Structure 1
Amino acid sequence: MLPKKKIGISAIPAVLLSMISIQSGASLAKQLFPVLGISGVATLRIGMSAIVLFGFFRPDFRNLKQKELLLGLGYGACLGAMNLIFYFAIQRIPLGLGVTLEFLGPLVLALMGSRKAIDLIWALLAGLGIFLITPRGDSSADMWGIVLAILAGAFWAGYIVIGGKISKVMKSGDAVTLGMLFASLFVIPIGVLSGDLYILNGNLLLLGLAVALLTSAIPFSLDMGALRQLPSKTFSILMSLHPAFAALSGLIFLNEQLNLIQGIAIGCVIAASIGATLTVKK
């Protein structure tokens, strides 16, 4: 019998720090929307992350294999699309709700191919959460924001799948840097064409650097290292806490107070994600 895979003691704290970093950075990014626009903030986030990562890891891409190049391209496409679409979503809806809806991507990924009856319960529980979030009356969410957040979740699922694969064939730092460089190729042209970057100054560049570090460079590097140490099930359980961290960050930094129904909806999605992770057959 093969020995059980040991979990590095630093892996779990790394994932928790990654989530705190991402949601804190998302709150800062949302505060920049009125000044730089969504495309401008996304461009700064991705572009500056690529520069920081390349300078820190100094990867040598001269001998990249075709498989590594294709995985990096897919990884970068998911990163770029996920970030840009999510920003458009949280412009319309509170951060906590946006992340909750986005998290449906990883949840559906966990449930795909399942044949267990109990997993139907998790799907229904997640569906209940979505029903509770759906705008009714004077809800603080709107339908376009919901659709965009769910679409961002689809790219989040792709990030998890491809990230797990590329982490097995490349060094963590090299993989994240390659993905971020490809993401820049997708996002930067959109930011330039939008005209949002024409008002850039020193202060905005520093804020953009902070967003880049908090939401991309730091957490994606932590995730990549954790994926090499943690079983996918453990990683997924920890990732299930993202909506809770987002709701807390939105409350602290953006004064986005959720009502009881919205809080229950977030709880439903978190419970469904944890339950699915524990019961879905791998």
Structure 2
Amino acid sequence: MQSPASPRPLTGVALVIGSCLSLPFGAAVAAQLFPVLGPWGVTSLRVAIAALLLLVIVRPRPLRWTRPQWIAVLLFGLSLAAMNGFFYAAIDRIPLGPAVAIEFLGPLVLAAVLTRRVSDAVWVGVAVLGMSLLFVDGVVGADPLDPLGVVFILIAAAFWAMYIRTSARVGASIPGSGGLAMGLAVAAVLLIPVGVPTVGTVVAAPHLLLLAAVTALLSSVIPYSFELAALRRLPQRVFGVLLSLEPAFATLAGWLVLGQSATPLRMLAIALVVAASAGTTLGIRRRREPDVFTAPIPLPD
């Protein structure tokens, strides 16, 4: 299914930037809960709260959905559960900035595969260089990267690419935010086994629930709503490159909230990813994309 081109593509750009701002600050808040609830426990609690909030606000009507719509939502929920769980498991072991930089390999590879213009490929290359510098900084800097943490973030990267594809399909086939609400509900159900052990801890310390709610808003409700709306206005390949802003904001959030330092090499990398995002944005302004949902993900029968 295809959607007509948006008359205001810069609105989509603004939505992606809002998501990039919200996500890393939510992750920084979540990291403070890891010593008590563990990364997978925080993931389960956060996704469950976000799903409950959206189900109450949106009130989706899934009984009216077709089989392909349900398949899209189930795959979307799987990508949400795995992407978030492995990301939190990774930032429990490696700094936030390098973690987001490595995870960006998922959407970056997706953008490179989908791109059809030389200018898009050039900006992808600039973003790759920025990601490489962030990775080098994490390897040779003062904080060496934990190997298991790197494995976790690479798994999260693969599911991030899956999230972009399934999110685009859900946004194209299900009007409004009903698909997002049910996708989060599916993710919450999948995460129940790792979330059960946190129940007793949260009951004994109710203030943890408040912190988890803040994390849910910053890391799930706001960014996923923004990204779903952005994918209705932007090509997936452009959306993928614009997400290169996220490592920059993750570095900022790690510095402000967690006290993680930003070296000169890391700042250079940030400048490169911002340049890639700005170049992509200018390219959108010069050309009105005829097709918002390019190369939709094939769904099983």
Shorter-chain-normalised TM-score: which range? 0.7 to 0.9
**Match status 1:206 vs 2:210:** yes
More deviation, 14-23/87-96: 14-23
Unpaired stretches in structure 1, ≥5 consecutive residues: none
More deviation, 11-20/36-45: 11-20
**Match status 1:171 vs 2:175:** yes
Number of matched pairs: 277
**How far apart, in 2, do the equivalents of 1:236 and 1:113 lie?**
10
**Could you list the per-position Cα deviations for residues 87-131 of structure 1 after superposition, in whole angstroms to 9, with x for gaps in the alignment?**
011111111111111101001111227797966955973674366
**Could you list the per-position Cα deviations for residues 30-74 of structure 1 after superposition, in whole angstroms to 9, with x for gaps in the alignment?**
011112111221111111111001000011111221101111011
1:19 matched residue in structure 2: 20
Q: Match of 1:6, SS?
A: coil
Give the structure-2-normalised TM-score. 0.81
1:241–1:114 CA distance, 2 compared to 1 (3 A): closer
**How far apart, in 2, do the equivalents of 1:232 and 1:137 lie?**
34
Give the structure-1-normalised TM-score. 0.86
Correspondence 1:127-206 to 2 at 5 A: 128-129=132-133, 132-133=136-137, 135-136=139-140, 138-192=142-196, 195-200=197-202, 201-206=205-210
More deviation, 144-153/23-32: 144-153
- Aligned partners of 1:7 and 1:230 also within 8 Å: no
What is the CA distance between 1:170 and its match in structure 2? 0.2
1:57 matched residue in structure 2: 58
1:144–1:260 CA distance, 2 compared to 1 (3 A): farther
**How far apart, in 2, do the equivalents of 1:122 and 1:190 lie?**
39
Aligned mate of 1:224, from 210, 228, 232: 228
**How far apart, in 1, do the equivalents of 2:213 and 2:49 lie?**
6
Q: Which amino acid aligns with 1:88?
A: A
Correspondence 1:196-275 to 2 at 5 A: 196-200=198-202, 201-265=205-269
**How far apart, in 2, do the equivalents of 1:51 and 1:209 lie?**
11
More deviation, 151-160/107-116: 107-116
What is the CA distance between 1:189 and its match in structure 2? 1.4
**Match status 1:98 vs 2:99:** yes
**How far apart, in 2, do the equivalents of 1:131 and 1:239 lie?**
17
- Aligned partners of 1:106 and 1:157 also within 8 Å: yes
1:109–1:275 CA distance, 2 compared to 1 (3 A): farther
Q: CA RMSD in A?
A: 3.0
- Aligned partners of 2:127 and 2:272 also within 8 Å: no
1:67 matched residue in structure 2: 68
What is the CA distance between 1:264 and its match in structure 2? 4.0
- Aligned partners of 1:122 and 1:273 also within 8 Å: no
Percent identity reads 38
What is the CA distance between 1:152 and its match in structure 2? 0.7
- Aligned partners of 1:27 and 1:253 also within 8 Å: yes
- Aligned partners of 1:122 and 1:275 also within 8 Å: no
